[in-house]
Amino acid sequence: MPSAIHLQISIFLFCCTISYYIEAALNVGLSKEEIIELIMHCAGYAGFSKAVQAMG
């Protein structure tokens, strides 16, 4: 599989997965601000661009 296609598939799956967890976090009472804070905290570990994608 070419690397560009592999990257696109990985990003798609990441976005689908993260939206599930964000919805679950909202359902158990986390605020939007708390979720954004957690994503920004993870930016240093996962990479800033992935953290920004998770918020978008």
Q: How far apart are CA 54 and CA 56, in angstroms?
A: 6
- Angle (nearest 5°) at CA 8 between 5 and 13: 125
Confidence class of residue 46 from pLDDT cuts 50, 70 and 90? low
The total domain count for the chain is 1
Task: Give the domain range for residue 7.
Answer: 3-55
pTM, rounded to two decimals: 0.55
Q: How far apart are CA 28 and CA 48, in angstroms?
A: 26
Residue 47 has pLDDT above 80, yes or no: no
Confidence class of residue 31 from pLDDT cuts 50, 70 and 90? very high
